[in-house]
Structure 1
Amino acid sequence: MGKTKTARPRNGIAPPSAANRSRITNGKTLLPGIDGRSALARRFRDIAGQVASDLGGAERLSEVKLQLIRRFAGAAALAEQLEAKLANGQSVDVAEHAALTSSLVRISSRIGLTRAMKKVPDLRDYIEGKASIDDGDGDE
């Protein structure tokens, strides 16, 4: 008899092992072909991180929401660039700015506008947990 193979879905959507995921999925890279050190790349990362944090942290979000957050961060960074040009007295395309703003409103309505609280233990649980750690440290 041959080896027993584990069944894999035939649709190609089965989650790959960590070694077979992209650098973006593994969090090693921000965007394809971008090293992340430019001011715009840092701003993109900051916006995406803050929005994810506002929604309770990236670990609590679905991939769809994470993708929407990336689109939001990109549009927001571009809008900020246009606004900086405007503030410096340069001409800007008002239609482009309006389209970015409209996109930001639509994306943010899909992501959610309410800030989610991170779960933290109540004071009693925290103190009891701290006491149990202190009691079990072996120093007597």
Structure 2
Amino acid sequence: MTQKKVDDDELVALFPGEPITHDNAEHYRGRLRRELLVNRCDNCGSWHQPPKPICPECWSTSITPTPVDGAGAIFMAIFLHQGPLADGVDYSTPYPVVTVDLTSQPGIRFTSTVVGSPNEDITIGAPVVLDWITRGAVPFPVFRLATKDQAL
């Protein structure tokens, strides 16, 4: 079954308050399919994040948002005690925000949260896998700590 392509107006309506541009719209469409997309240059093969219209390595404009598996290791972790109101975010327990080094895309990092683990287990270097939750009626990429059989 093929999924209907979401036009720009529908996309903006589905993600209110998000900074959707022509450079990142396909990434939000990927979220609707539960795909984490990272831009890859069609000419030199380099990955780059955040989405930009030109490759920072070779200056090509031939860029393709490409699905990635999202496996990696925690590079940085902070725990927010307060912050802006967000669907599904509860600051009564410090809310984890992590930046993950993606294993299959060297040099690429992605920032989100870790779900399903106590904060004391969320540590620098811990292996994680990509997962999805629903936030505001749309899919939202998150990480879970990897089990021993998932760790790289």
Q: TM-score, length-normalised on structure 2?
A: 0.23
Larger relative CO (CA 8 A, sep 6+): 1 or 2?
1
State the structure with more CA Rg: 1
More helix per residue: 1 or 2?
A: 1
More strand per residue: 1 or 2?
A: 2
Q: TM-score, length-normalised on structure 1?
A: 0.25
